[in-house]
């Protein structure tokens, strides 16, 4: 039975995939394949779906309906979302306040670092050594730098005193934590940003750069005129990856801002304590809060999924 005909109809299928299709000609097998894939998809979606429906349930609906079933008309409420937004909104603002600058700066710094380590010609083994030291920085467990980091910000670099003129304007002193977070995230983001840009620059065509160099263009000029304008796609990948990472990070916010009651508390910090600050566990509120806090990263993922996949695969 030849069912290769209907299966080759996809316009975008490549020769490779078409060949792999012919490896199994069993229709039953095909059906089985899609069933397994759909089950796997359900496995990945159910926790999220269950959280979403639960966030709209009243206290009684949570007990009476199945955890993944939508609330009936009587069990539907938007009150939990309203509470969650009330509690988390200031945290969202604070998170944006450090996540956006830290993302942009670390992407740009990563780009110039990778450029200096890839395009110019200098001794390959020294280059590899520098690169190795940088790349190892990606894999450091941050616990190994936490106590010195706390010491550094609280005892050595006393930014809150340097910035006293800002507090005089009526901005809460806790916001010094936001600036510390920006610098911290930039410093620890350099390794991964550099690696991502380097994989991209390695594949860049040499011809244009070489001829520009022969014409006497400085490295700075080559970067500004040739490399930077061509870096667009990689900037998208790095910005998306970094934004997700920085937005989602809890550890640094925990040790730098420390309390969820601080006016400068980021959203992850408030969310982590959201359920436990109330008597018992209000799951509907927790779910609503979780979704609200995840909105920016979900939006980024839905709109730029391709770039996200590329970022994590590198």
Binding residues among 33-92 for other proteins as defined by CB under 8 A: 33-34, 36-37, 40-41, 43-48, 50-51, 54, 62-63, 66-68
Residue closest to 231 by CA, chosen among 135, 121, 119: 119
The two tokens of residue 271 are: 């969310």
Distances (CA, A) of 61 to 48, 54, 75: 18, 9, 5
Q: How far is the CB of 170 from other proteins (least distance, A)?
A: 29
3-state DSSP assignment of residue 108: helix
Contact 206, 295 (CB under 8 A): no
The two tokens of residue 128 are: 């590899």
Distances (CA, A) of 38 to 32, 45, 59, 72, 309: 10, 10, 32, 26, 20
Does 109 engage in binding with other proteins (CB under 8 A)? yes
Does 31 engage in binding with other proteins (CB under 8 A)? no
Does 307 engage in binding with other proteins (CB under 8 A)? no
Does 278 engage in binding with other proteins (CB under 8 A)? no
Cβ closest to other proteins, residue 61 vs residue 176: 61
3-state DSSP assignment of residue 50: helix
Contact 289, 84 (CB under 8 A): yes
Cβ closest to other proteins, residue 169 vs residue 302: 302
- How many angstroms separate the CA atoms of 138 and 141, rounded? 9
Dihedral (Cα; 110, 115, 117, 118), 10-degree rounding:
130
Does 126 engage in binding with other proteins (CB under 8 A)? yes
Cβ contacts of 222 within 8 Å, gap of 6 or more: 119, 209, 212, 213
Strand partners, 76: 57
Q: How far is the CB of 8 from other proteins (least distance, A)?
A: 9
Does 294 engage in binding with other proteins (CB under 8 A)? yes
Cβ closest to other proteins, residue 49 vs residue 173: 49
Q: Among 158-166, 167-175, 231-239, 300-308, which window interacts with other proteins (CB under 8 A)?
A: 300-308
**Member of 85, 100, 104, 187 binding other proteins (CB under 8 A):** 187
Q: Among 143-151, 160-168, 171-179, 228-236, which window interacts with other proteins (CB under 8 A)?
A: 143-151
**Member of 139, 165, 168, 203 binding other proteins (CB under 8 A):** 139
**Member of 160, 180, 249, 307 binding other proteins (CB under 8 A):** 249
Does 132 engage in binding with other proteins (CB under 8 A)? yes
Does 177 engage in binding with other proteins (CB under 8 A)? no
Cβ closest to other proteins, residue 68 vs residue 166: 68
**Member of 2, 5, 11, 16 binding other proteins (CB under 8 A):** 16
Does 128 engage in binding with other proteins (CB under 8 A)? yes
């Amino acid at each position: 039975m030849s069912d290769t005909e209907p299966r080759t109809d996809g316009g975008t299928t490549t020769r490779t995939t078409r060949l792999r299709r012919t490896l199994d000609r069993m229709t039953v097998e095909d059906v089985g394949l899609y069933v397994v894939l759909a089950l796997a998809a359900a496995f990945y979606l159910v926790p999220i779906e269950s959280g979403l429906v639960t966030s709209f349930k009243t206290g009684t609906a949570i007990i009476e309906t199945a955890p993944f079933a939508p609330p009936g008309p009587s069990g539907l409420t938007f009150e939990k979302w309203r509470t969650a937004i009330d509690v988390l909104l200031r945290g969202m603002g604070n998170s944006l306040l450090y996540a956006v600058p830290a993302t942009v700066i670390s992407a740009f710094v990563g780009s110039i670092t990778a450029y200096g380590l890839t395009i110019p010609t200098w001794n390959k083994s020294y280059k590899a050594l520098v690169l190795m030291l940088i790349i190892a920085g990606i894999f450091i467990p941050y616990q190994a730098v936490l106590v010195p980091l706390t010491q550094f910000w609280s005892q050595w670099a006393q930014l809150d005193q340097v910035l006293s003129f800002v507090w005089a304007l009526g901005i809460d002193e806790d916001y010094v934590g936001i600036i510390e977070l920006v610098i911290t995230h930039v410093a620890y983001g350099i390794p991964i940003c550099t690696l991502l840009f380097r994989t991209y620059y390695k594949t860049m065509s040499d011809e244009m750069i070489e001829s520009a160099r022969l014409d006497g263009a400085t490295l700075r000029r080559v970067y500004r005129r040739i490399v930077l304008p061509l870096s667009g796609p990689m900037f998208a990948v790095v910005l998306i990856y970094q934004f997700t990472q920085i937005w989602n990070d809890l550890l640094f916010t925990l040790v730098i801002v420390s309390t969820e009651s601080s006016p400068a508390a980021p959203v992850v910090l408030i969310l982590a304590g959201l359920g436990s600050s109330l008597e018992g566990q209000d799951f509907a509120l927790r779910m609503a809060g979780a979704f609200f806090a995840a909105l920016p990263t979900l939006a980024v993922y839905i709109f730029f999924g391709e770039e996200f996949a590329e970022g994590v695969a590198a």
